[in-house]
Structure 1
Amino acid sequence: MTQIDAPQTRHPNQLLAEELRRTRLAGGLRHFIGGQWVDSQGGATFEAHSPIDNSLLTTVARGDEADIDRAARAAHDAFQLWKEVGGAERRRLLHKIADLIEARAGEIAVLESLDTGQAIRFMKSAATRGAENFRFYADRAPGAGDGQSLPAPGFLNYTLRQPIGPVGVITPWNTPFMLSTWKIAPALAAGCTVVHKPAEWSPVSATLLAEIMDEAGLPAGVHNLVHGLGESAGKALTEHPLIQAIAFVGETTTGSAIMRQGAQTLKRVHFELGGKNPVVVFGDADLDRALDAVVFMIYSLNGERCTSSSRVLVQEGIYDEFTARIAERARNIRVGDPLDPETEIGPLVHPRHLEKVMSYFGAAREEGATIAAGGERVGESGNYVSPTLFTGARNDMRIAQEEIFGPVLTAIPFSDEAEALSLANDVQYGLAAYLWTNDLTRAHRFAHGLQAGMIWVNSENVRHLPTPFGGVKNSGIGRDGGDYSFDFYMETKNVAISLGTHKAARLGVGTPPVVTPREAGE
């Protein structure tokens, strides 16, 4: 079993982490409701542990139906004022939030690594990306309500957009800070108020974000935070009649449950769900660049990324050589303390998730695949697993069909374009896809045939905020990004003004017929 080398000296990130555990986390995490930090009404708590060694990180208020009700009512009351706040003022506040996020970038990065196990080298950008999300939507806040002029004969039609009301935001445990800003920023820019329920496995950065928004001067009740478990706090949020919509990022099965729970109150839903994303490598591609992208998109962020390219489909003529190069790179990836700047893969978020990921090592062997790299736990404490590559796989295997959500890649050969497209689409998911080829015509043709919401050609995932983000099939409903987010958080209203030139149909202006009693009874 591969061991993790113990650091010879403690580096600044570890020292800051120790300080934050003594100061910020020692007293536990509370809810933020109506502008106040409060405990659960029932006094319940749960424990959060660091995936580095599974030691106790902090205690967290465990919200339930009563806490969600209090937060939803606070959001409802605040909405009556927040919806009237002008776009320029919302822009100012959201830029202030972005400023404060950037000012606390180091703290955010360390807490995110400590809480989730993500390598600090990637979490250094968590604050930057979070601030970018707020700035992007801050600048769109003044125009969020803008519509269109749609003249018609005899009428002047125009549309406008208005905020839908209080919304629930349920965020996942992978890169939770960035994903929280990705959902909350457009909601606030649109004029909605928010009740945020973060994942119980990574609650820390949500508290920090609530502090920052409060410090920026966001009015009380506009943003509310309730910690808790999905089956209690999450369920209460999705069922609450004052919550008009639910924005959720997480597993497909949970998305289905949320849709059922919100059906009685006709909740609008936006889901970013699971993925089993293909990266297709043709023999004519720039194989060096393709190799870098393939390795990065599955092994960075511990493989706990919804857009990770977890299936690599490689043309037969280059399959053996290309997968051998992937295996070599995987074996050289440094697994270790996520607070160490040299670490490339940290621990998985939770022991239960570690067990799930490791269960696929046995499944691969049973189904006849080869473990070309990895396939083992790393170290004796913490939730570490080695970067893994399965070769000799078929698309009907569990390792090719199910979302593993770890640093695990399944390599499948294909013969020609038709087979590659069939394999790429032959899963229940359709979030993202990646294509490597130097044939321009094939690139467009293949991209049009892929069943995915987002496709990158000759590139890894490079996010451009104005573009739509979301999936098809079991990967989700709706799109984030640009004005697409406003389509979810706002209602579009049409106003038709008559120019007085049309003639309305007239009823009841003639002489009514005489009806005798006998005729009336017939």
Structure 2
Amino acid sequence: MSDFDTHLAKAERHLARFSEGIVANQIGGEAVEAADGETFETISPVDLKPLARVAHGKTADVDRAAKAAKAAFPAWAAISGDERKKILHKVADAIVARAEEIALVECMDTGQAWRFMSKAALRGAENFRFFADRAPAARDGASLRTTGQINVTTRSPIGPVGVITPWNTPFMLSTWKIAPALAAGCTIVHKPAEFSPLTARLLVEIAEEAGLPKGVWNLVNGFGEDAGKALTEHPDIKAIGFVGESRTGSMIMRQGADTLKRVHFELGGKNPVIVFADADLDRAVDAAVFMIYSLNGERCTSSSRLLVEAPIYDAFVGRVAEKAKAIRIGHPLDPETVVGPLIHPVHEKKVLSYFDVARQEGATIAAGGEKVQGPGGGCYVAPTLFTGVSNDMRVAQEEIFGPVLSAISFKDEQEALEIANDVDYGLTGYLWTSDVTRAFRFSDALEAGMIWVNSENVRHLPTPFGGVKSSGIGRDGGDWSFDFYMETKNVAFATSAHRIPKLGG
């Protein structure tokens, strides 16, 4: 039996449990259907066939979950950081033990290739371990001295929080948000994306089986217009951590305004990879290809704009085109597959629409630009490269969120910077040059929350993760996560008898 056949057989066994009943919400430690009994269907992008019926949560379900999180908060917040560390490490251990199951289910639910998803669960476990180890010191602050006074700061968990996660790599991104919230001492209500809800169900089960107290982690499936809106408006929810589209982030801010919700947004991107003629071009080609065509291009940090210095433009984009044409498209469980089907027919339609837009705007399609009849007949789209693009074109300005790259020529450093910054987004940037002074100068002026120099996206968990402009608010990673999920308190102690003004005689 081939590796593909083995993966497929195992995936079918794991998916069978979801097709046998309803994928439930999890509220107060209990698996429950929606209050009104309604469900929605989730399909596989591989063949568009149903995978499961999912509980369709709405206002009543979110209200019940928020109250469960509120009730569980005092006890969870009172647990010592050392005890939370132990529990979160047990969660990580349980994730590792079921890593293959998680990956197989996620491949079939999202269309992401096994070669990438096989590591996603392990990255999720790493997120839990990282924040588990920080839990004992999460409340520590600073001692700040001045004349006649010592100030002592401390942090405490903000309370129940809402976490809304996206459909691309949903398992890993859920752990990235939920692990620091739990380590800080918060309780949560999690609403996963409706396009890929299955591994969220696995994750909350794993956590509770590993010893997380009931009600600390609540799961409500549903849509943005009902469950999402109810969560962002609920008075018991003190903060919202959201990963998704910029327009949805704006909506969440409006919905949370009346209750003064704290928000943390990781939103869209139209990230540039800037290649100067003096760069290591072999490595730059590989990095540019990897950062747009891995994970089906459905990633916020993808390098979707390729800016290349004019003297090397034709040769460089020619090499990218050759590699794009050679990328293996196929079933996500095939170990040889690089690009699998896009998440859903709705999203596939959006991505395909940009091929006509590119032609109308005068760009050249140097690779791809078409739908592919992949295994199962699902949402397969060829890795695509647009050349001859100017930065005012829609394909250079709008987030396509697929395996689609727009190549733009620049004449000098100043023009490269102007093009790179001339978008609404500012999540990441990738700079390739052997000139170290240019690297410092350019990265300092580039409008992005994260920049990699002579590298693709290589994450170091203690570093801040987030964007500027329409790409987000706030930072994840290290103690930056605790700044969001915790309140800071300052206590001032007088060390001498200072003069107190006398009023009223």
Q: Is TM > 0.5 for Structure 1 vs Structure 2?
A: yes
Q: Hey, what does 2:156 align to over in structure 1?
A: 162
The answer to whether 1:388 aligns with 2:377 is: no
- Shift of the 9–488 alpha-carbon distance from structure 1 to 2, 3 Å rule, reads closer
Inter-CA distance 184–10: structure 2 relative to 1 (3 Å threshold): closer
* Map of 1:178 onto structure 2: 172
Corresponding residue number in structure 2 for 1:501: 497
Deviations 1:180-223 (A, max 9, x none): 00000000000000000000000000000001001011011100
Q: Percent identity?
A: 68
Check if 1:135 corresponds to 2:129: yes
Q: Secondary structure at the match of 1:131?
A: helix
Q: Which residue of 2 aligns with 1:491?
A: 487
| Residue 301 (structure 1) aligned to one of 285, 295, 300 | 295
Aligned pairs for 1:53-72 within 5 A: 53-72=47-66
Q: Deviations over 1:71-95 (max 9, x none)?
A: 0000000001111000000000000
Change (3 A) 1:155 1:8: closer
Deviates more, 1:22-31 or 1:219-228: 22-31
Cα separation, 2, equivalents of 1:365 and 1:499: 73
* Match for residue 236 of structure 2 among 226, 242, 248: 242
Q: Which among 268, 280, 286 is matched to residue 262 of structure 2?
A: 268
Residues 312 and 9 of structure 1: CA distance in aligned 2, closer, same or farther (over 3 Å): closer
Q: How does 1:84-483 map to 2 (within 5 A)?
A: 84-379=78-373, 381-483=377-479
CA apart distance, 1:500: 3.9
- Partners of 2:356 and 2:448 in 1: how far apart? 29
Deviations 1:470-513 (A, max 9, x none): 0000000000000000000000000011224211110011xxxx
User: What is aligned with 2:67?
Assistant: 73
Alignment correspondent of 1:512 = none
- Residues 7-62 of structure 1: CA distance to partner in whole angstroms, max 9, x if unpaired? 99951110011112223442220000000000001000000000001100000000
Cα distance in 1, alignment partners of residues 391 and 452 from structure 2: 21
SS in structure 2 of the partner of residue 125 of structure 1: helix
1:10–1:188 CA distance, 2 compared to 1 (3 A): closer
Matched residue type, 1:436: W
Q: For residue 248 of structure 1, give the secondary structure of its aligned residue in structure 2.
A: strand
* Total equivalences in the alignment: 503
The one-letter code matched in structure 2 to 1:411 is A
**Match for 2:478: what amino acid?**
G
Query: 1:515: which partner in 2?
Result: none
TM-align CA RMSD: 1.0
Q: 1:389, 1:8 → 2: CA distance?
A: 33
Q: In the alignment, is the contact (CA less than 8 A) between 2:4 and 2:333 conserved in 1?
A: no
Deviations 1:103-131 (A, max 9, x none): 00100110010100000000011111000
Secondary structure in structure 1 of the residue aligned to 2:358: helix
SS of the equivalent of 1:274 reads coil
Separation in structure 2 between the aligned mates of residue 190 and residue 166 of structure 1, nearest angstrom: 11
SS at match of 2:434: coil
In 1, Cα distance between the equivalents of 2:108 and 2:20? 14
Counterpart residue type for residue 366 of structure 1:
Q
| Off by >3 Å, runs of 4+ in structure 1 | 7-10
* Shift in alpha-carbon separation, 1:397–1:502, aligned structure 2, 3 A: same
Counterpart of 1:426, as a letter, is D
Which SS does the other structure have where 2:146 is aligned?
coil
1:47 aligns with 2:41: yes
8 Å Cα contact 2:3-2:335 kept in structure 1: no
Give TM-score scaled by structure 2 length. 0.99
Distance, in Å, in 1 between the alignment partners of 2:3 and 2:418 is 52
Q: So what's the TM-score if we normalise by structure 1?
A: 0.95
Cα distance between partner residues in 2 of 1:300 and 1:66: 39
Alpha-carbon separation, structure 2, partners of 1:148 and 1:418: 42
Flag structure 2 segments of 5+ consecutive residues without an equivalent.
Answer: none
Q: Distance in 2 between matches of 1:132 and 1:281?
A: 32
Q: For 1:264 and 1:109, locate their aligned partners in 2 and report how far apart those are by CA, in whole Å.
A: 40
